[in-house]
Copies of this chain bind each other. A is one copy, B any other.
């Protein structure tokens, strides 16, 4: 089960991939091959043979900020705008009034673990010297600093000081709402599935009239950002000991050390080589532990070729049932909704995560199996290099014999590879469906289950 039948694939299709860039970033590609082998993967397998190239391109795209200059961007788009006499009005008057660009979606790569994190960025400034900047430049400048290995506070500070240097306004404020994928704590994973998908960080940086964190103008900014509650209290204090990246959480490091899981030196060197290829100094203080942190994440997705030990799952097994022609509707549809999962896209070595919904019909005499067992099966297929389509099918095939044969499995997920790279489709998500038994022929049963799915996703 789960082995790919690759014989049916028309290999000539794959060959049309733009071959001219095969040798793009050869050091990064070589490093990714080492990582794939370290995960126990066959680097010539169809799904991943171009993964080193894809990862190299994605990383290069994610770090173009090192080569760009915020000053050029801003100073090319400063426009004269008459303001009122400064003697007559206060700091927020006339053309000197507050200007805010809200809800700029960005992504950046975490310097602590090399995974992308999402940013909702808000920039405010108070024009002075009768000059305003083209609004889109605030977004472009944000991107210059986001497209580097970053930490939220530094990203906010970098943006703030670059804007202040070029714009020479009365003050700049930057607020970043950051979302970082949660690292599941594997040891408690199979017991506790309540872990949320995202870790949230809120940081700010201010200059000029925004330099004083208690200045009234911050309150005005928050009002216009529609942050109604006491957001100021939630902003992370500078130099606080709370590291936001879960790779720095003590529990994870404890797991890593308690299990004595030293990562293979070749894999550590590979990650170090990637960091160096991006133009960063792997010895920089903040990057020193990054290879270990990244591997703590990555090694969750090690390939295990052995079949799942199904025996231990088959407690209430009913066995796959032959279709007997009766509609499922006449039986009851049970469901287990919102089982979280984490996985790693095999095409880009980037996380995707979300929830699985399982529906099944219980014939009389079949006792439903427990949620924790279903959750374990979901995790088992999540923790490997995957594509969502295969993951969904594997879960369906595994749970079907345990649940009486008639199952429908829906996976809903956010894919980092749709957010980072050149795609940047921030709100997008993917749903996949697999059905077995009655569900494959009974449209009413499918509809009944699909309509019962929760309409709000918080993965």
Please indicate which of the listed interface residues A79, A417, A421 has the most CB atoms of chain B within 10 Å of its own CB.
A79
What is the CB-to-nearest-CB distance from A240 to chain B, in angstroms, rounded to a whole number? 28
| Segment 404-436 of A: residues with Cβ below 8 Å from B | 410, 412, 415, 417-418, 421, 423-436
Interface bits A131-173 vs B (CB < 8 Å: 1, else 0) = 1101110011000000000000000000000000000000000
Contact yes or no, A92 B433, CB < 8 A: yes
A451 CB–B CB distance under 8 Å: yes
Which residues of chain B have C-beta atoms less than 8 A from A219's C-beta?
443, 447, 450
Contact yes or no, B428 A103, CB < 8 A: yes
Contact yes or no, B139 A423, CB < 8 A: yes
What is the CB-to-nearest-CB distance from A93 to chain B, in angstroms, rounded to a whole number? 4
A295 CB–B CB distance under 8 Å: no
Measured in the bound complex, the distance between the Cα atoms of B347 and A436 in whole Å is 57
Measured in the bound complex, the distance between the Cα atoms of B139 and A18 in whole Å is 18
What is the CB-to-nearest-CB distance from A358 to chain B, in angstroms, rounded to a whole number? 13
Q: Which residue of B lies closest to A418 (CB)?
A: B136
Partner of A130, one of B5, B17, B388: B5
Give A residues with C-beta under 8 Å from B: 3-6, 8-10, 13-14, 16-18, 46-47, 72, 75-84, 89-95, 97-105, 127, 129-132, 134-136, 139-140, 216, 219-220, 223-224, 226, 228, 347, 387-390, 392-393, 396-397, 410, 412, 415, 417-418, 421, 423-436, 440-441, 443, 446-447, 450-451, 453, 455
23 pairs, A vs B, C-beta closer than 8 Å: A5-B80, A13-B75, A46-B80, A47-B80, A81-B387, A84-B393, A84-B436, A91-B440, A92-B440, A94-B436, A100-B430, A100-B431, A101-B428, A103-B425, A134-B347, A135-B415, A219-B443, A220-B446, A223-B453, A224-B431, A224-B433, A224-B453, A228-B455
